[in-house]
Amino acid sequence: MMNRTFNFKDSSSESHREISRNIAFHEAGHAAAIHLGNQEKGLPPVFFQICVKPLNTDFQSSECLGDRSARYMAKVEGGRLIHTIATSFHETTKYFSNAQKLAYQCAFEADIINLLVGPLAEARYIALRDNEPINSRLVNIEALQYYGGSSDLELVNEYLDCFIVTRELRERKLKSLFMDAFSFINDRSNWLAITALANFVLSTDRNVLQFEEIGSILEQGKLLTKN
């Protein structure tokens, strides 16, 4: 599950509306990376859905129920290629063939990128909304916590702790994967797909968006690049 960390400091209607948009772009970013990013890497499709809830309810503990009169948020459920993070990448793959190790590493890295794309998509939406620049110096890895990314970063660190023992190598790998995630959101067709899905999430009266429909919305959004 890809959870977005959020804080409510302003209870106004306008604030709730903007929080809804931030969250919609965050979760659409995760979804686009899972569907389009994995596809580009030749990875197998993985099931996920987007659960939509009212913003004024206890989102973490409640079931997925909807109320069109309420502001709402959303979250991606599922979507990870590696379902259980082992204590050691080496131990998990020691009996794998070279091809199996490579495929496992690719899936491992894809999950990390997909986690990073969520807060980066939110950051890019906010930058565009405010007519401000965005690059990897202004929005670095540490800054993702300000875009709902604290829980995403915690999970990324769990992956990396299993993957690489040395701190220096771990930081180098994280920087490389972060740049891959940045490239994903900066790609025009990917951004159009993210925007199309975020707008759909904000306009829908549905409680759950299923895998097939999400994929269709993203693919249609990408096609706008050709227009």
pLDDT tens per residue, range 167-218: 899 999 999 999 999 999 999 999 999 999 999 999 998 889 999 999 999 9
Please say if the pLDDT value at position 58 is more than 60: no
Give the Cα-Cα-Cα angle 93, 155, 115 (nearest 5 degrees): 95
Residue 109 has pLDDT above 60, yes or no: yes
Higher local confidence (pLDDT), 16 or 82: 82
Do residues 35 and 113 lie in contact, with contact meaning Cβ atoms separated by under 8 Å? Answer: no
The whole model's pTM is what?
0.86
In whole angstroms, give the CA distance from residue 139 to residue 137.
6
CB atoms within 10 A of CB 190: 24
Tokens 């950051």 sit at which residue?
A: 123
Summarize pLDDT for 115-147 with one digit per residue, the tens: 999 999 999 999 999 999 998 888 999 999 999
And the tokens for 59? 């989102």
pLDDT value of residue 137? 87
CA dist 139 → 10, 56, 116 (Å): 24, 29, 12
| C-alpha to C-alpha distance for 219 and 202, rounded to whole angstroms | 18
Q: Which long-range contacts (CB under 8 A, 24 or more apart) does 67-71 make?
A: 68/205, 71/13, 71/16, 71/17, 71/19, 71/20
CA-wise closest residue to 36 among 226, 223, 227: 223
pLDDT of 18: 83
